[in-house]
């Protein structure tokens, strides 16, 4: 699997496109209240699956990174207990399957590596291939260090233990930051929807209150400015909470 590529299923395409169409209907009602605006917005709504695909790819990488952290800790533990590198892989695969199931990403990667080993491929090659497909910096670093340790003939167990502590610590910090920002991200989603809900609520409870905004040229210009301001605030809020380490 190439983790830098994400293919949406037909069900995901339909679901995301439907969500985009509903969002277009809501925006056209709140800001312009005419059918023409809905059809103008609709192409953007139908592109929502492309945005969602990027988000799903990012989430999959985060989950892969978390499983990778667990896998190298398992490898380190097995090597410290005196197992060979091949037996350590076997032990780690069993533990990963227990934690994430046989379809877990790292469980499948370890299964593939073990099969490839029987075809006379080296672990250095297999880790390098996995690192290239993962697109994750921490996995690339581990693969490079693993390759150097195998070539130098040093104490592989000690090297992997040391590297797993460093990389595992970095990934742990990233997870903690995501947990700390999760509440703010939820609050951001609520705040993004709040102006729309307020506009709909006022329109339902006070019919005709916004008529001047939809029936005059000045009103349409004001609503367009409001829409652009809303879109800018939405993008800015998303970037403020997108923390990279």
pTM comes to 0.76
Contact 160, 76 (CB under 8 A): yes
The band of 243, judged by pLDDT with boundaries at 50, 70 and 90, is low
97-117: per-residue pLDDT in tens? 888 888 888 888 888 888 888
Residue with tokens 């293919």: 7
Per-residue model confidence (pLDDT) at position 154? 59
pLDDT for residue 84 is more than 80: no
Residue 17: both structure tokens together:
């496109």
Long-range contacts of 203-209, Cβ-Cβ distance < 8 Å, separation of 24 or more: none
Please report how many Cα atoms fall inside a 13 Å half-sphere around the Cα of residue 16, on the Cβ side: 19
31-83: per-residue pLDDT in tens? 888 888 889 888 888 888 888 888 888 888 888 888 888 888 888 888 777 77
């Amino acid at each position: 699997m190439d983790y830098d590529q994400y293919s949406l299923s037909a069900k995901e395409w339909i679901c995301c496109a439907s969500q985009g169409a509903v969002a277009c209907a809501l925006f056209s009602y709140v800001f312009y209240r005419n059918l023409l605006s809905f059809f103008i917005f609709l192409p953007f709504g139908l592109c929502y699956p492309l945005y969602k695909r990027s988000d799903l790819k990012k989430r999959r990488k985060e989950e892969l990174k978390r499983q990778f952290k667990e896998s190298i800790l398992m490898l380190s533990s097995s090597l410290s207990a005196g197992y060979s590198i091949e037996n350590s892989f076997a032990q780690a695969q069993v533990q990963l399957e227990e934690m994430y199931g046989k379809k877990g990403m790292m469980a499948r990667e370890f299964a593939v590596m073990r099969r490839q080993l029987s075809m006379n491929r080296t672990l250095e090659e297999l880790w390098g291939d996995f690192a290239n497909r993962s697109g994750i910096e921490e996995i690339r670093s581990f693969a490079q260090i693993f390759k150097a340790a195998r070539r130098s003939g040093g104490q592989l167990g000690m090297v992997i233990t040391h590297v797993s502590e460093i990389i595992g610590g970095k990934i742990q910090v990233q997870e903690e930051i995501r947990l700390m920002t999760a509440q703010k991200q939820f609050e951001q989603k609520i705040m993004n929807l709040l102006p729309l809900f307020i506009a709909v609520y006022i329109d339902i409870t006070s019919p005709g209150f916004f008529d001047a905004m939809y029936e005059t040229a000045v009103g349409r210009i004001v609503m367009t400015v409001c829409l652009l301001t809303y879109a800018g605030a939405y993008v800015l809020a998303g970037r403020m909470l997108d923390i990279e380490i």
